[in-house]
Chain A
Amino acid sequence: MSAAAAPTPVRKLRVATVSLGGCFGCHMSLLDIDERLFELIEKVEFDRSPLTDIKTVGPCDIGLVEGGLCNAENVEVLRAFRAHCKVLVAVGACAITGGLPALRNHLDVGDILQSVYARVPDDPELPLPLNRVLPIHEVVQIDVALPGCPPPADAFWQLLQDLIAGRAPQHLPGLIRYD
């Protein structure tokens, strides 16, 4: 199935992905490119991602960020992504607006914890929840936004094709969704 003795390809783009306060649906939609995944990995390699065992982000060409900021660790991870990724993409409604988890913003986080757990989990190993769920552009600059909940697989595909080809991402009608 693989072509024999293909010429050495140009350097693969390095892509990191992360889910902050998201549901992994955006990652699932990325995987919904189905068998095009095999074509993609000819051109890109993955750095930190839920799909790999690389646990800290290194220098990358592209960072795909799913989810908004729910706790202090989300913020740290996001800043590390910004520092290491040339192009940072806010993927999906949660990263762009806070999304559904931001529905907790009209409630007091202490009250919610109290009513859900009665005895509030407070171990130092647990990250501090933020008072409000924030979109990621509140804290770092983002370069591209890919809307949708989740963005369609074809939108991921188009974006990655554009970035691999060194083009500015085109937002094709029909791939931009606001659900």
Chain B
Amino acid sequence: MDTRPLETAAEPGGLRRIAIDPLSRVEGHGKVTLLLDDDNRVRQARLHIVEFRGFEKFIEGRPYWEVPVMVQRLCGICPVSHHLAASKALDRVVGGWPVPPAAERIRRLMHYGQIVQSHALHFFHLASPDLLFGFDAEATRRNIVAVAGAFPDAARQGVMLRKFGQEVIRITSGKRVHGTGSIPGGMNRAVDAHERDALRAELPQVLAWAQDAVELARRLHDNLPPRYADFADTPAAMMSLVGRDGAMELYDGVLRVREADGRIAIDGFDDQHYGELIGEAVKPWTYMKFPYRRSLGPDAGWYRVGPLARVQNCDFIPTPRAEAARQAFVAAHGGRPVHAVLATHRARMIELLHGVETVAALLDDPLILGGPLQAEGPRRPSGIGIIEAPRGTLIHEYDVGDDDLVTRCNLIVSTTHNNQAMNEAVRAVALRYLDGETITEGLLNHIEVAIRAYDPCLSCATHALGQMPLAVSLRAADGRVLDHVLRSSTGELLRDAPAHDAEAAQ
């Protein structure tokens, strides 16, 4: 199915616009717009990310040691990923890479705790209503509250799994959201033995819940009505970090790219040279960039990251229960690469189980209770840190001057890697389920179901004003003009000084 022509309608004039706005049960804000002709044929379908916060820019000029704490505010759902990716980049700047073993273990513990909490949040709190009640269930039922009513055990497991992951983060960083444990060159705290023991006591129950979650995701996927068997099946290359031995590895490793047909295209690629592998393209209708493999170019070079990519990109998972679940996943699909996006949920729960198993092993490691926590060495002017965040590969890169101030910052967040893949999924669903139909709320939710499978983290911003005004002025409650912007006929944003003054004078 060639969906590419749907990116931009040949004749947008006269088409009817439908917006899904805001996307809900995803983190952050985005929207989907569809353009339909008189016969309800889909002519254009786009996922827009309306977020723009300029982090990369305002981090310039800040002292480097602030950065691991600042960048957490990019995302309250996976703050640990940003905390650690920035730390790993800055470890290199302060000459502290590799960090001492105790610091490395505690960071890993924090990171795998985050995998558990974020995956639990996504599957149970956000995505499960679609799978439990059906894609076109009434909108008022599609939420965690209704899940708690109809499937109390599942809702409770989700809440408790997330709680466990959040507690792992708290005992390693001091706070559940936006802690301060990791610093350039290591950690500033070790784990308290009593807090460790309290979490250890919960492990048998948490492991059982995680195992149940894998089974639930499998069952829900297997029980989907036949018309969803190939839901948003979008073949894509897969990218992730893996261990040098090909193991699933979420904290530190080498980059591997697998083609959609399962062949390994690139392996053992040093993460410090990611810029040779990946470029980024810009499109005027979204604030999210489009990364691509440089060797293939912007049109053909897109790829998928995240659980579905990772579970298939690695050769094995280095914990026994999750590895058994991975093997069952591969066997269920006859060993062929899986590109149906709903399979991502099962992959995500396999990773959650791997997360719990890894946390269990780390809680048994005496190193987390202390030892040398910081390393130092010759300063370097720049550093790159890459980590597998819950949603996929996350890249942080910084240049730091001799005065300790950041001079340049580049971030490629997980969801950005999936930009093209999500747009492809939106178009595939629009063509398969909406084209020529009378559009209902339930049908529109099908599009969101496909986007949700990617668990995108769109963070920030909101929804459209209906007709986009040509001029906006923002007034305080007392009538003062706070801001005034104009959009020119060419689409440029202008800060119109005369209009501003005129408004202010009124």
Minimum Cβ distance to chain B for residue A160 (Å): 15
Chain A residues with CB under 8 A of B76 = 22-29, 150
Minimum Cβ distance to chain A for residue B121 (Å): 7
Instruction: Give the distance in Å from the alpha carbon of A129 to the alpha carbon of B301 in the complex.
Output: 31
Known: A101-B53, A127-B465. A75 touches B474 (CB 8 A): yes
Chain A residues with CB under 8 A of B228 = none
A8 within 8 Å of B (CB atoms): no
B:1-38 near A, CB below 8 Å: 21-22, 24-29, 31, 33
Known: A128-B493, A134-B482, A141-B477. A71 touches B73 (CB 8 A): no
Minimum Cβ distance to chain B for residue A152 (Å): 9
Chain B residues with CB under 8 A of A138 = 476-477, 482
Please determine whether B58 and A104 come into contact, CB atoms closer than 8 angstroms: yes
Instruction: Give the distance in Å from the alpha carbon of A146 to the alpha carbon of B445 in the complex.
Output: 34
Chain A residues with CB under 8 A of B160 = 34-35
Please determine whether A29 and B177 come into contact, CB atoms closer than 8 angstroms: yes
Please determine whether B477 and A139 come into contact, CB atoms closer than 8 angstroms: yes
Please determine whether B474 and A122 come into contact, CB atoms closer than 8 angstroms: no
Quick check: which of B267-275, B342-350, B455-463 contacts chain A, the rest being far away? B455-463
Please determine whether A121 and B285 come into contact, CB atoms closer than 8 angstroms: yes
A112 within 8 Å of B (CB atoms): yes
Known: A53-B24, A73-B464. A126 touches B477 (CB 8 A): no
Chain A residues with CB under 8 A of B200 = none
Chain B residues with CB under 8 A of A131 = 483, 485, 495
Minimum Cβ distance to chain A for residue B58 (Å): 4
Please determine whether A73 and B53 come into contact, CB atoms closer than 8 angstroms: no
Minimum Cβ distance to chain A for residue B122 (Å): 12
A:16-67 near B, CB below 8 Å: 18-29, 31-32, 34-35, 37-38, 41, 45-46, 50-55, 67
* Residue in chain B with minimal CB distance to A108: B495
How many residue pairs, one in A and one in B, have C-beta atoms under 8 Å apart? 251
* Residue in chain B with minimal CB distance to A35: B159
Please determine whether A74 and B73 come into contact, CB atoms closer than 8 angstroms: no
Chain A residues with CB under 8 A of B283 = 121
Please determine whether A179 and B48 come into contact, CB atoms closer than 8 angstroms: no
Please determine whether B178 and A179 come into contact, CB atoms closer than 8 angstroms: yes
B402 within 8 Å of A (CB atoms): no
A167 within 8 Å of B (CB atoms): no
Instruction: Give the distance in Å from the alpha carbon of A27 to the alpha carbon of B21 in the complex.
Output: 19
Q: How large is the interface on A (under 10, 10 to 19, 20 to 34, 35 or more residues)?
A: 35 or more
Known: A21-B461, A124-B468, A127-B464. A116 touches B74 (CB 8 A): no
B336 within 8 Å of A (CB atoms): no
Instruction: Give the distance in Å from the alpha carbon of A21 to the alpha carbon of B162 in the complex.
Output: 25
Instruction: Kindly identify which residue among A38, A116, A121, A127 contacts B54, using a CB–CB cutoff of 8 Å.
Output: A116
* Residue in chain B with minimal CB distance to A48: B24
Instruction: Kindly identify which residue among A45, A127, A130 contacts B462, using a CB–CB cutoff of 8 Å.
Output: A127
Chain A residues with CB under 8 A of B460 = 19-23, 67, 70, 101
Chain A residues with CB under 8 A of B463 = 55, 73, 76-77, 127
Minimum Cβ distance to chain B for residue A34 (Å): 4
Please determine whether A73 and B28 come into contact, CB atoms closer than 8 angstroms: no
Please determine whether A55 and B21 come into contact, CB atoms closer than 8 angstroms: yes
Known: A24-B75, A107-B57, A126-B286. A19 touches B28 (CB 8 A): yes
Known: A53-B142, A99-B73. A124 touches B28 (CB 8 A): no
Please determine whether A52 and B143 come into contact, CB atoms closer than 8 angstroms: yes
Instruction: Kindly identify which residue among A27, A53, A106, A128 contacts B139, using a CB–CB cutoff of 8 Å.
Output: A53
B492 within 8 Å of A (CB atoms): yes
Instruction: Give the distance in Å from the alpha carbon of A23 to the alpha carbon of B177 in the complex.
Output: 11
Instruction: Give the distance in Å from the alpha carbon of A107 to the alpha carbon of B52 in the complex.
Output: 14
Instruction: Give the distance in Å from the alpha carbon of A45 to the alpha carbon of B144 in the complex.
Output: 11
B321 within 8 Å of A (CB atoms): no
B378 within 8 Å of A (CB atoms): no
Could you say which of B142, B145, B495 has the most chain A C-beta atoms within 10 Å of its C-beta? B145
Given A18-B462, A138-B476, output 9 extra A-B contacts at Cβ < 8 Å: A19-B460, A21-B461, A67-B460, A72-B485, A73-B465, A101-B73, A109-B54, A109-B493, A123-B286
Q: Which 6 A-B pairs have the closest CB atoms?
A: A25-B76, A122-B491, A123-B285, A73-B462, A24-B76, A103-B58
Give chain A's interface residues, CB within 8 Å of chain B. 1-2, 18-29, 31-32, 34-35, 37-38, 41, 45-46, 50-55, 67, 69-77, 99-101, 103-104, 106-107, 109-110, 112-113, 115-132, 134, 138-141, 149-150, 153, 179
Give chain B's interface residues, CB within 8 Å of chain A. 21-22, 24-29, 31, 33, 46, 48, 50, 52-54, 56-58, 70, 72-77, 79, 121, 125-126, 139-140, 142-145, 148, 152, 155-156, 159-160, 162-163, 166, 175-178, 282-287, 289, 445, 448, 459-465, 468-469, 472, 474-477, 482-483, 485, 487, 490-493, 495
Instruction: Show 16 A/B contacts (Cβ-Cβ < 8 Å), sorted by A.
Output: A22-B76, A24-B28, A24-B75, A25-B75, A28-B177, A46-B143, A51-B25, A53-B142, A70-B53, A73-B461, A101-B53, A120-B493, A125-B48, A125-B468, A127-B464, A129-B493
